[in-house]
Amino acid sequence: MASETKISNAAAKAMLDTLVDSLDALTTSEIHVFVGTTNADAATTPAGALLAKLVTSTPCFGAATTASPSVATAAAITSDTSATDTGEAGCFWAGAVTTPGTIATGIIQGSAGVAGDTPDLVFDDDMIVIGGTVAITGWTISLPTS
C-alpha cells in the first residue's frame, strides 16, 4: 500500500486538537493501565490484566503545538493510590467514563512504561504492585507532518 501522503503542520495541529478535545469535552475521563500491548483499535479494551485506573484532569490537554511533529501534552494526572493488580505496565486505554472505573467509549490507547523506553504514557516506575501508588510523569500525543 502506498504511503506518501503528507500533511501540513497546520492540518496536523487541527487534527491533534480535535483528538485531544474529544477527551477534554468529557465530564469524566480515565486512563486504564494494562499489562501487555495495545489492541488493533482504540475502541476495544486491551487484553492484558488491568493494573490501575487514573482520572485525568479537566481539561486533560491544552492546545497542540505547530511544530513538526505537532505535539499535545497532558495536564497533571492524579496518581492512583490503590493499584488493582501486580505487573509491568505495557499499554494504556483512555476514554469516556460512565461510572467511576468503567470506560464506556475508548478514545485512544498506546504504549506505557518508563521514560527510557520512550512510551506514549510515562510512569515513574512501570512495575506496579497491587495496592500501591501509580504515578504518571508525562503523556504526550504527536502527529507527524511533512
Is 4 inside any structural domain? no
How far apart are the C-alpha atoms of 50 and 86, rounded to whole Å? Answer: 9
Is 19 inside any structural domain? yes
Is 1 inside any structural domain? no
Whether pLDDT at 12 is above 90? no
For residue 1, the model assigns a pLDDT of 55
Four-residue CA torsion sign, 66, 11, 119, 138: positive
Is 138 inside any structural domain? yes
Number of domains forming the structure of the chain: 1
Q: What is the pTM of this model?
A: 0.87
Domain hosting 19: range is 9-143
For residue 5, the model assigns a pLDDT of 80
Is 47 inside any structural domain? yes
DSSP 81-137: SS-SS-EE--EEEEEEEEETTEEEEEEEEEEEEEGGG--SEEES-SEE-TTS-B-EE
Is 3 inside any structural domain? no
Is 102 inside any structural domain? yes
For residue 8, the model assigns a pLDDT of 86
Residues 83-96: tens digit of each pLDDT: 999 999 999 999 88
The residue with greater pLDDT, 63 or 26, is 63
C-alpha cell at 105: 467509549
Count other C-beta atoms under 10 Å from residue 102's C-beta. 11
